[in-house]
Structures are given as C-alpha cells and as structure tokens.
Amino acid sequence: MNKFATVIMAAAAATLLVTACSKGDSSQIKVGFAQVGAESDWRKANTESIKGEADKRSNIDLTFSDAQQKQENQISAIRTFITKGVDVISFSPIVKTGFEDVLKEAKEAGIPVVLFDRGVEVSEPGLYKCLIGSDFVEEGRRAARWVIENVGENANVAELVGTPGSDPAVERKKGFEEIIKDHPGIKIIKSQTGDFTRAKGKEVMESFLKSPEADQINVLFAHNDDMALGAIQAIEEAGKKPGKDIIIVSIDGVKSIFEAILAGKANCTVECNPIIGAQLFDVVEKIHAGETVPERVYSVESVYDSKNITQEVVDSRKY
Ligand code: GZL
C-alpha cells in the first residue's frame, strides 16, 4: 500500500509541493509526474485518477508535483525528476511550446517521457514515447455540430477560450471553427481566455455582457465546464436566463455541469475523460519492460445534453 509523504522542495523561483510515495523499493518503477495544477474540477479528477491508480499498483513509486499553472514550475519539476534518476517521466504540458530543451535533457539522461492529457510542439522526433489523452479537435467539432443541430443555422457565439497556447484551447477552437466555417450564419462575435477557471470565466462573461454586442449573444461556447459555470453565474447576475436566453455549450463533462443541464441552466457538455490513470501506468509498465508502446492512446468519450442526462446519470458520474 503506497504511503504518500509530502516533501517540500525549494525550487529557484517557487516552492514546489512534491508528494512522493515513500516505498523506496528498488524493484519498483520510479515515476515522476508533473501536473498542470488544480485549476478545474476536471484537473482534480485527473490528479485523483493518477494518484489512485499509483496507490493500487505496488510496483509503482510515484513522485507527484503540482506546477500551480506555471510552466517554469513544470520544467523545474522535470529537472528534479532527471536529477533524482526516475525511470519514467510523465506530465501534462501546460502549453504546447517551451518544453523542447527539458525533453532533450531527459532524452540525454536516458529517461523516457510519456505525455499525458496534453501534447507539445517539438521539432526533434523521439522526445517522448507516447501521448495519452483526448482528441481535442474532435471535441471542438462535436460542440459545433451540437450547436448546428440544436440551435440552428443562425447563432452569435461568445467564446471562453482555455489557457492561451495550451493544446486543448488551440485544438478545441480549431475543431469548432472547422465545422462552423461551412455555416456562415454561425459567428463567433466575442472571444477571450478564461484560463480554464470558474473565476476568470465569470469575469470575462461579465465583460461580454457589458459590451456593445451583449444583446446579440445567444450561444456561449466555453472550452471547459468550469468557465461555463462561472459564466452561468454572470448571466444570472445580469438578469438573463442561462440555458434559455444564452445557450451554454462546454467541454469536460464534470458533475456540476450535468447538474446545471438537469436544472435547465446549461445545455450541452462534450465529455473529456480525466480518469486515465490506468492507461498511464499500463504504458509506463510496458516501457519499463522494454516493450513497444503506441504513439497515441485516445480516450473514449460522449456528448451529453438534456436528452440523455437524468438524475441517475448525474448520480453515476465519477467526476
Ligand atoms: C483537457 C484538459 C483541460 C480541461 C480543463 O484534457 O487539459 O485542462 O478541459 C483543464 O478543465 O483545466
């Protein structure tokens, strides 16, 4: 049974909270994981999935770091893992660029890397073994298709974008725009980042509702449910009815948005499965055993709205 001990390490510019299981058994696979942060319900469920799965596997010795949504902390944590001489490094890159140097350092140290949840842009091949996670472009396409099928051919869309430069933000936008480009009556008339957080989503939606275009907005497309939930609060405080005056479409599938859809305050969520810890350690074990692994492992996901959400479905959600 893993026992997580918390080890506080002072890094150059910030203190990283690194939790390490204290098994220390040399027969185990030492895995260093650098998480984005705890910015959303999705991320918290994702972290629980990683730690919970490591706890179940007596052959895994997990050192976990929370970068608090700062790229420099993620890079610092990866360098700490290299110094520690872990067997495998895994992380969810907060943005797509800026990791090439540290990935080269891991390669030079002979430590394989598994990308988890989000991808990176690198010029050199072979800097990571596998990317495990969702097809974000398809998630954006699914959101746009839902708008066309359920709102129709005319919509003025306000968009809450995820963390600028992050894989999910770039790809979800790409997928949404790929579909609406063939439907000229559907226009994105406001677009700004809410950084995947509820607080920022509320703040940006408040600014949209004070803008000259406020009364034209009839659809909100949020890159994650947390920003949508913040926006719902802003819409209500502005005296409008979320889910009716403004149709709410978002991505993740967290329990709170299911409850909002059941209450008629949101309309659609495109599932993005965070419970992928088992896939991570299956790949880690294969790499450690010298087996080949697929370059890409995709999550299986659905689209949910008032037609397939019941109280039983809400109660059965794991995140
Ligand atoms: C998507 C993940 C995103 C979620 C957000 O796989 O990277 O990051 O959609 C989270 O909720 O912040």
Inter-CA distances, 55 with 4, 28, 76, 139, 234, Å: 9, 12, 25, 31, 40
Beta strands in the chain (DSSP E): 4-10, 15-21, 29-35, 60-66, 88-91, 113-116, 130-133, 155-161, 186-193, 219-222, 247-252, 268-271, 296-298, 303-305
Mutational pocket test of ligand 1: of 41, 43, 301, the residue with most ligand atoms within 8 Å of the beta carbon: 43
Distance (angstroms) between ligand 1 centre and the Cα of 118 equals: 8
Atom of ligand 1 nearest to the CA of 252: 9
Map residue 118 onto helix, strand or coil: coil
Tens-place pLDDT, residues 262-307: 999 999 999 999 999 999 999 999 999 999 999 999 998 999 999 9
Q: For 27-132+274-288, which CATH class?
A: alpha beta
In testing the pocket of ligand 1, which one of 35, 42, 118, 223 has its CB within 8 Å of the most ligand atoms? 42
* pLDDT tens column, 31-67: 999 999 999 999 999 999 999 999 999 999 999 999 9
pLDDT (average), residues 105-113: 98
Environment class of 275 (CB within 10 Å of its CB; exposed 0-12, middle 13-18, buried 19+)? middle
Q: Which amino acids bring their CB within 6 angstroms of ligand 1?
A: 39-40, 42-43, 117-118, 133-134, 168, 196, 224, 226, 251-252, 272
Q: Where are the domains of the chain?
A: 27-132+274-288, 136-272+305-316
Please compute the mean of the pLDDT values over residues 217-233 and round it to a whole number.
98
Q: Which letter does DSSP use for residue 119 in this model?
A: -
- Report the distance separating Cα 104 and Cα 167, nearest Å: 20
Instruction: Identify whether the C-beta of residue 232 lies closer than 8 Å to the C-beta of residue 264.
Output: no
Q: 136-272+305-316 adopts what CATH topology?
A: Rossmann fold (3.40.50)
Q: Which of 196, 223, 319 to mutate to test the pocket of ligand 1 (most atoms within 8 A of CB)?
A: 196
Look up residue 187 and give its two tokens. 């226009």
Question: What ranges in 189-305 are assigned the alpha helix state H?
Answer: 198-209, 225-237, 255-262, 277-288
Atom of ligand 1 nearest to the CA of 226: 11
Cα–Cα distance, 280 to 284 (Å, whole number):
6
pTM of the model: 0.91
pLDDT tens-digit series, residues 153-205: 999 999 999 999 999 999 999 999 999 999 999 999 999 999 999 999 999 99
